[in-house]
Amino acid sequence: MNSATDPRSVPTIVRQADRDITSVREALGVTTPAPVILISGGADTFDPAIAPKLTQLIGRGLLRAGRAAGAVIIDGGTDAGVMGLIGRAAGAMAEPTSLIGVAPEALIQSPDISPVEADGGRFALAPNHTHFVLTQGGVWGAETPVMFDLAQAIAGKFPVIVVMISGGQVALSEILHAVRRHWRVLVIQGSKGITDELLAQWTTKVAKDDDPLIAEILADGDLRAFPIGDPPEALARRIGRELGGDTTLRQAWLRFGALDLAAVGQQKFFRRMQGLILALSVGVTATVVLHQAVHDRCPIPISGQDLGCGVGLHYLVIIAPIALSVLIGWTNHFHHGKRWVLTRQAAEAIKREIFQFRTGAAPYRDEATREKDLAKAMEDVTRRLARSEANTTALPMYSGPIPPQYAAGEGDDGMSPLAPDRYIDVRLDDQLKFFRKKTIVLDTLLERLQWGILGVGGLGTLLAAIGFDLWVALTTAIATALGTYLSYRGVDSTLTNYSQTATDLENIKGWWTALRPDEQGDPSNVDALVQHTEQVLATELSGWTQRMQDALANLRKDQEKEANDKGTGGAGRTEGGPSLVVAVRSDATPTTPPSQLSGAR
């Protein structure tokens, strides 16, 4: 929000009427995206035995976590049950909390003045809320779509977590909305109401009386239990992690962002240098040819004066090869190409671990150790990078958005847990689109380069046939430059591997789609989906890394030989160095269920 509002001041009240959700958000004054904690709770009176524990969990746990994360908290807005506890706990906090209540206007009493006692079947507004949104509809539950749309509009790409405390059928309907939006639900175990019954069914994965609403929650939801007797500080830490605070997942994204920035910078510099070298190589040949072509015609009479060109071309013929040799020596000594390739490999390795972690698939299934496992995986990746030729690369500090731009699929906040179908949307399909798009681009580039090489070669033949033999050297240099570019970019082999990778991903998606719903709910099949998708991507990247390393080694040898042929000697460093361990690509494609495929993470 733009500014903090004292929760003890008069709240801002917005009537939904015919407004769309964007207009409602703007009327509230919430213009800056922020994480959201959405409370799904009962309005009934609590068991006196658990009220003190809930009060502590809400005040010292939930509200403190929301304040620390800069989150907006949304609840049902009435002075009853959970919402009343939240309002009173907010009033006791030393610092203000952004707290929005959403309720049907027809069921609320005196919304334009300070809260009063409920009367005539209507409920008073909860105390100490900063804002209220009064929706259309005359029954409880009519406000639910607005509540969830508002949470999504405020969060943007920030995470949303739903906290379920007690409740009945309306709360259950709210949980279904959360499941359909792929939001994690934290259930306060022991808070009575529908919560304990839902958790019992979640454990058995069997819906009581085949209730279709609960069956959908069990099949597609991501529910996590938090015992009511655990310390409030533990709840605050748990919510803070879910909202993308200083967590291992956030650190992984920051590490990826730094490696990604470094790789992009190294790639741009390397390609600029290679373009300059290729242009200068052609320029050297053009200078020599031009010098020989006009040497006997100098001085050239222009406007009655003799223009002396022989001396200038003579020195240019000397200087150009020296400049070319210096550029080749510079690029070969500092290994910008290898740094780019190795840094990109490390960045993508961390991104693979991030997506495996977010799905909760093996090896990140154990809730007690999964963050330690992710930290260990990051350590392994960065340690291998530090032992490679990229160990002198200065990694920039990444301070951009989480996830970094282009690092995740459209609409992915980078922090929320991923159910299998959501994983397919934001990971598998996203990568599949990337490879299909790249194959079209590479096919077009390959065709143009090949036509260019053939066209320049044909021009050289024509020049030789009509007696301009001297200029054939220039056409040969241009054709060689195009061939060198084609070789070091590895266009033909990359096109083949991209096509194969896209086919592999399509086969995995086809296998998953063919599974029955109960089979898609089997954790072993979820593990297989994630592991084999990431394995295909890892194998493609390893193959790309090896191809690029081979191409760069050949490019360095060719350039050093060219520099020597120009008469200035090679200045490049030729010794090798350690590199990241890469996997060998298997030719097997997942035409059978991933559980039958060989290979491990």
Q: Where are the domains of the chain?
A: 12-246, 249-341+360-386+419-575
Residue 563 reports pLDDT greater than 80: no
- Report the share of the chain in percent with pLDDT over 70: 79
**Cα 57 from chain centroid (whole Å):** 33
| DSSP label at residue 595 | G
pLDDT at position 469 is: 81
pLDDT band for position 569 (50/70/90)? Answer: very low
Report the phi/psi class of residue 410: left, alpha or beta, with left for phi > 0 and alpha for psi in -120 to 50: beta
pLDDT at position 297 is: 58
- Average pLDDT of the chain, as a whole number: 80
Residue 267, amino acid: Q
Q: Which residues pair with 38 in a beta bridge?
A: 74, 162
**Predicted model pTM:** 0.63
Q: State pLDDT tens for residues 317-346.
A: 667 667 766 766 666 656 666 787 888 889
d(CA 266, CA 268): 6
Closest CA to 170 of 275, 78, 248, 282: 78
- Of 30 and 270, which is predicted with more confidence? 30
**Could you check whether the bond before residue 127 is cis, i.e. omega within 30 degrees of 0?**
no
Residue 306 reports pLDDT greater than 90: no
Residue 43, amino acid: A
pLDDT band for position 189 (50/70/90)? Answer: very high
pLDDT band for position 39 (50/70/90)? Answer: very high
Q: State pLDDT tens for residues 425-464.
A: 999 999 999 999 999 998 988 888 889 888 988 988 888 8
Q: Which of 178-182, 400-404, 420-424 is least confident?
A: 400-404
First vs last Cα of the chain: how many Å apart? 43
pLDDT band for position 38 (50/70/90)? Answer: very high
Residue 86 reports pLDDT greater than 70: yes
Compute the Cα dihedral for 358, 363, 366, 367 and give only its sign: negative
Strands 160-165 and 184-189 turn out to be parallel
SS3 144: helix
Helices marked H in 136-247: 144-155, 169-180, 194-204, 212-220, 232-242
Q: Which of 312-316, 400-404, 468-472 is least confident?
A: 312-316
d(CA 63, CA 69): 10
Q: State pLDDT tens for residues 273-287.
A: 777 777 877 887 777
d(CA 128, CA 85): 10
d(CA 230, CA 221): 23
Structure tokens at 298: 């100098």
Rg of the chain (C-alpha set):
32
| DSSP label at residue 3 | S
d(CA 176, CA 59): 26
d(CA 489, CA 540): 16
φ, ψ (nearest 5 deg) of residue 46: -80, 155
Kindly give, in sequence order, each residue whose CB lies less than 8 Å from that of residue 474, ignoring residues fewer than 6 positions away.
Answer: 282, 285, 286, 289
Closest CA to 40 of 70, 72, 82, 85: 82
Query: Could you count the other beta carbons within 10 Å of the beta carbon of residue 447?
Result: 11
Query: Could you count the other beta carbons within 10 Å of the beta carbon of residue 549?
Result: 20
The H or E element containing residue 74 is strand 72-75
d(CA 529, CA 510): 11
Q: State pLDDT tens for residues 204-255.
A: 888 888 889 899 998 888 888 999 999 999 999 888 878 866 578 888 999 9
d(CA 201, CA 212): 13
d(CA 355, CA 91): 40
The H or E element containing residue 103 is strand 99-104
Kindly give, in sequence order, each residue whose CB lies less than 8 Å from that of residue 359, ignoring residues fewer than 6 positions away.
Answer: 417, 418, 419, 420, 423, 526, 530
SS3 64: helix
pLDDT band for position 559 (50/70/90)? Answer: low
Residue 552 reports pLDDT greater than 60: no
| DSSP label at residue 277 | H
Report the phi/psi class of residue 545: left, alpha or beta, with left for phi > 0 and alpha for psi in -120 to 50: alpha
Closest CA to 389 of 433, 335, 350: 335
pLDDT at position 472 is: 85
Residue with tokens 């068991």: 47
Q: State pLDDT tens for residues 107-140.
A: 888 655 444 444 556 888 888 999 999 998 888 8
DSSP 221-260: --EEEEETTS-HHHHHHHHHHHTTSS-HHHHHHHHHHHHH
C-alpha triplet 290, 296, 299: angle, nearest 5°: 90
Burial class of 427 by CB neighbour count within 10 A (0 to 12, 13 to 18, 19+): buried
pLDDT at position 388 is: 81
CATH topology of domain 12-246: Rossmann fold (3.40.50)
C-alpha triplet 350, 158, 79: angle, nearest 5°: 140
Residue 498 reports pLDDT greater than 50: yes
pLDDT at position 430 is: 92
